[in-house]
Chain A
Amino acid sequence: MITLNHNNFGGGIITLNEFQSNGFCILNGKIVVNPTHPDYIVADRLELDLPSDFLMSKSAMSSAVLVSNISIYRDGTLLRCWIEKKKLCIEKLTVWDSFGNYEIYIYSAFVERGYRGQVIPAYIQSVVFNQPELFRIVYKVYKETHDFIFMALLFNKKNTTQGQGPFTLQLTSIATDVSIQVPIFFDNLTGTRRTGNNIVIGTLENGSLTFNYPGDTSSFGEIRTYLIFYAIRNITNVT
């Protein structure tokens, strides 16, 4: 766990869970942003000072997820996020500022380019997901190391699956020592243009992903739901 004492947007003291190795690190956590704070208003981008002993001073481009405070579905999008001069930098997007405080979820990896050692630990394994009645898994990638997991998952809600949930997706054989709250994007068959995506916050715990469709998706038909994240093992990341 690292504590970020200073930032340029009035965000107070922020703690993030971290895994660090040579040329590579993972950050997990949530940042609350108050768009009415004077410091935020004048900031061009969000900057958080990393601890002086943080190994990485500069990273390639990574990402974070902005989750707004809009009711029912918390619309949001992807943000650019990177490390520069020992600062965690996040793109500032003001699209949802008028809806009050928003959250930024960071479940991301950061790499230094040109690092020629072993970036990912040699031990890595893939597992198979089961396919429960409610959902059909379309694409899945799962990588597990001693220290973290990486998951990219796209699944469809079946037409027969109605209501708000909560729904639970049992993910067989994944690490059970990961406990996180992670943003999940979804959209529907119509592919309607809108600003950002519908987002819900899911909980991954003991190998099960649980989430709601709070707006009742019965009329949506086959919803495509997707998430990508890196999660550090053995630690509860967001409380």
Chain B
Amino acid sequence: MKLLPSVAFNDFSGSAGNVTARKTGDRTVLSTRTKHSKKKTIYQAATRCRFADTVRGYVDITEEQRQGWISLANNLGSYHTSTGKEYSMTGHNLFVAINTYRKICGKPQSDIAPLELKPSNYIRLDDWWLTPEHIVLTGLGEKENPNDVLYVEMYVAQSPAENDCWDKTVLVAIFPDTDWGDIDLTSAFLERFGTPLKIGQKVYIKACWVDSECGYVKYYSLIGHIVQELSIEHGEIYLPRPKITTADLYNYNRPFRFERLDFEMSPTSTNIVMTSIDMIIINDGSDTQNFIMEMYPNTIDRILWANLWLFSRDAADYQVCFISISTNNLENSKPLSILNNTFIKFHNRTEFFGTYITSE
């Protein structure tokens, strides 16, 4: 961009060829005409479509609705974009900004200006991993507003000399909620950037809690670090949270199935761990004393325990049984066994819930 005291362009504003001129005070500013890059990725296409649709949307709203946006913009004063820049806001800009983020959050275009703008919030963080295998943020806590979603942008510096790249971050994912304070960005990152991180690369992450109904991104946390094997805050090796889900099990043609399966152990390197269970098994066959199913081979690597003692409860008559759940790691078989150690049989619907300690 150049400041040009040009005779030819005095009192001229507009575009001619690839040159655009605009007046700033008593000066004319010339710039080359903005063109989007020739890159055609799915993400870029989606972004351009979303932006174009939103811009067109402003044309289609009523004059009364337009005045609402203009009034809100006037009250707002300046506006911070996700790239950290501050702009004076017009009704049109505000409409596009708000509705762009609303669409990113999966919400429809809002023709009517909101009564108030709830700005986005910073995130808090306990620890995080930037490794070639895992991009995980932990300790984000619970969201305070039910409408909040976690908005995450990232950028990987192309060379060690590339610094201060906060305006190059791109949307990686929107999370409706965290998994008990954890966010695993690994798959979203791979989908977005195509290749895993490498040790020594510089990564920029921009994240905030944004009200998905409001779509006003104002405050956001900027966190950046070099990719390394250990966690950034506490220098810990990444340990996955050991869980069993229905995807880890196959039943062959057994006459029972899970209506709910929520089974997780505390991530720790010891073999005595707290385990929380909330599961329901539907038994379509005759009464039985046990449920045995096979786990896929990779599941066993995440499961450290051998035995767990707990109660079950029949969903119909509330009879309580003393249960053991055990795993085995045989060469050709990885059974997960749920055995009833009382004289009461499992009927149609059995619930297992509680927090217990595993036993070696």
Contact = CB atoms under 8 A, between A and B. Distances in A.
A152 interface: yes
Interface in B237-277: 239, 241, 262, 264, 266-268, 270, 272-274, 276-277
Interface string B176-196: 000111100000000000000
A219 interface: no
Given A61-B277, A77-B318, A228-B310, A115 B266 contact: yes
Interface in B271-315: 272-274, 276-278, 307, 309-311, 313
B274 A24 contact: yes
A42 interface: no
B318 A191 contact: no
B357 A120 contact: yes
A211 interface: no
Contact of A187 (B241, B324, B344, B355): B344
Contact count band on B? 35 or more
Contacts of A197: 318-320
A78 B272 contact: no
A109 to B, nearest CB: 5
Contacts of A13: none
Interface in A125-171: 138-139, 141, 143, 150, 152, 154
B264 A62 contact: no
Contacts of A152: 309-310, 322, 356
A105 B126 CA distance: 35
A109 B274 contact: yes
A133 B52 CA distance: 83
A63 interface: yes
Given A114-B180, A119-B273, A185 B320 contact: yes
Contacts of B343: 187-191, 224
Contacts of A141: 307, 309, 357, 359
Across the A-B interface, give the 5 residue pairs with the lowest CB-CB distance, nearest first: A60-B276, A152-B309, A77-B318, A113-B180, A63-B354
Interface of A: 23-24, 57-63, 77-78, 80, 93, 95, 108-116, 118-120, 122, 124, 138-139, 141, 143, 150, 152, 154, 185, 187-191, 193-197, 224, 226, 228
